[in-house]
C-alpha cells in the first residue's frame, strides 16, 4: 500500500504543476493529457497494431533463439567433450552486443520482421544455452548411470532422464529470455526498424506529440511489468516445489 504513495504523489504533483501553468513547456505533458493520448491511440487501433508487431517479433525471436540455445546447451551439457571444446568459441561470440548485429541484419533482411526476429533470436540464444548446459551437466550422476545400466538409447535418455530433471531450469531460461526479447525487440525498432512500439515511440517524438510519446512509454513499461510478473507467478505455481528444494 505504501508503495503507491510515491507514484500517486508524483502524478498528482505533475498534474497540479501543469494545470496551474507554472511551467510552459512543449515537452512535458500532464498525466491527464497522456491518458487521453493513450485512449486515442488505443481506440484508433494504432497502439494495438504496434503492440502486435512488437510481440510477434519478440515471440518468434524468443522461440527460435531458445530452440537453438537449448539444443546446443543440451549437446554441450550431455557430452563433456563437446562442452569443453566449445567453451572458447562460446566465450568469444557471447560478448558481442546484440545491437551490433542491427546493421548486418539490415543488409541481410532489409527492414521488416526478419531483421527484428534475427536479432532477438541471437540475444535470447545465450542465456538459454548457458542455463541448459549447466542444468544438464548437473543432472545427478546416479540417474545417468541408471540410464546406462538400462542401455537406453540417446533419445530416450534425453526425454526420460534428462528432460524431467531440467524442466524448471528451462522455464527460468524462458522467463529470462522473454524479458530480453521484449527489450531487444523495442530497441531494434527504436534504432532502425520501422515497425512496432519502438517505432511508434520515435514517430511520436519526431512529430512533436509528447503526450502520445509518454503514453507509448508507459504502455511499454506496463507490458514489461505484466510479462515479468506473470511469468514469475507461473514459475512459482508450476515449479515452486522444485525451486524451493534447490
Partner 1 sequence: MTMGRISETLGGIAVVLALLGLWSLVTAFGLVSPVFLPPVGDILRALVDLAEDGSLARAVIGTGGRMLLGFGLASLVGCGLGLLTGLSLRARAYVEPSLEFLRPLPASAIIPVAVMFLGLTKTMIFSVIVFGSLWPILLATIQGIRSVEPRLFEMARTMELSHRTVIVSIVLPGALPDIFAGLRLAMTVSLILAVVTEMMSGEPGLGATILQAARSFRSPELFAGVFMLGAIGFCTSTAMEVAQRYLLRWRF
Compute the chain's Rg from CA coordinates: 23
CA gap 151, 162 in Å, rounded? 15
Binding mask 127-166 for partner 1 (x = CB under 8 A): ----------------------------------------
Residue 69: CB atoms within 10 A of its CB come to 24
When asked if residue 246 is in the footprint of partner 1 (CB under 8 A), the reply is no
Helix axes 163-191, 46-78, angle to 10 degrees: 140
**Rounded to the nearest whole angstrom, what is the least distance from the CB of residue 98 to partner 1 in the complex?**
7
CA gap 71, 73 in Å, rounded? 5
Q: Determine if residue 140 is left, alpha or beta; phi over 0 gives left, psi from -120 to 50 gives alpha, anything else beta.
A: beta
Binding mask 17-56 for partner 1 (x = CB under 8 A): ----------x-----------------------------
CA gap 209, 203 in Å, rounded? 8
Residue 59: CB atoms within 10 A of its CB come to 16
CA gap 225, 219 in Å, rounded? 10
Cell of 134: 549447466
- Considering only residues 185 through 214, tell me which ones interact with partner 1, judged by CB under 8 A: 186-187, 190-192, 198, 201-202, 204-205, 210, 213-214
When asked if residue 224 is in the footprint of partner 1 (CB under 8 A), the reply is yes
When asked if residue 85 is in the footprint of partner 1 (CB under 8 A), the reply is yes
**Rounded to the nearest whole angstrom, what is the least distance from the CB of residue 62 to partner 1 in the complex?**
15
How many residues in the shown chain lie near partner 1 by CB under 8 A?
52
**Rounded to the nearest whole angstrom, what is the least distance from the CB of residue 164 to partner 1 in the complex?**
29
Residue 232: CB atoms within 10 A of its CB come to 11
Cell of 69: 540455445
When asked if residue 220 is in the footprint of partner 1 (CB under 8 A), the reply is yes
Q: Contacting partner 1 (CB under 8 A), which of 20, 22, 23, 88? A: 88
- Nearer of residues 97 and 155 to partner 1, judged by Cβ: 97
Would you tell me which residues interact with partner 1 (CB under 8 A)?
2-7, 27, 84-89, 91-93, 95-104, 106-108, 179, 182-183, 186-187, 190-192, 198, 201-202, 204-205, 210, 213-214, 217, 220-221, 224-225, 227-228
Amino acid at each position: 500500500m505504501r508503495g503507491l504513495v510515491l507514484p500517486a504523489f508524483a502524478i498528482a504533483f505533475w498534474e497540479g504543476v501543469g494545470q496551474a501553468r507554472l511551467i510552459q513547456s512543449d515537452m512535458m505533458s500532464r498525466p491527464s493529457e497522456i491518458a487521453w493520448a493513450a485512449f486515442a491511440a488505443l481506440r484508433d487501433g494504432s497502439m494495438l497494431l504496434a503492440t502486435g508487431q512488437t510481440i510477434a517479433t519478440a515471440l518468434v525471436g524468443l522461440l527460435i533463439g531458445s530452440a537453438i540455445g537449448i539444443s546446443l546447451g543440451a549437446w554441450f551439457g550431455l557430452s563433456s567433450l563437446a562442452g569443453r571444446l566449445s567453451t572458447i568459441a562460446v566465450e568469444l561470440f557471447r560478448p558481442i552486443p546484440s545491437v551490433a548485429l542491427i546493421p548486418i541484419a539490415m543488409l541481410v533482411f532489409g527492414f521488416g520482421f526478419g531483421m527484428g526476429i534475427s536479432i532477438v533470436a541471437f540475444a535470447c540464444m545465450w542465456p538459454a544455452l548457458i542455463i541448459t548446459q549447466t542444468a544438464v551437466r548437473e543432472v545427478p550422476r546416479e540417474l545417468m548411470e541408471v540410464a546406462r545400466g538400462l542401455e537406453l538409447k540417446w533419445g530416450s535418455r534425453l526425454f526420460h532422464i534428462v528432460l524431467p530433471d531440467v524442466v524448471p531450469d528451462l522455464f527460468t531460461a524462458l522467463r529470462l529470455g522473454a524479458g530480453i526479447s521484449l527489450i531487444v525487440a523495442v530497441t531494434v525498432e527504436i534504432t532502425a526498424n520501422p515497425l512496432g512500439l519502438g517505432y511508434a515511440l520515435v514517430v511520436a517524438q519526431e512529430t512533436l506529440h509528447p503526450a502520445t510519446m509518454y503514453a507509448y512509454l508507459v504502455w511499454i513499461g506496463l507490458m514489461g511489468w505484466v510479462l515479468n510478473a506473470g511469468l514469475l507467478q507461473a514459475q512459482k505455481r508450476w515449479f515452486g516445489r522444485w525451486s524451493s528444494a534447490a
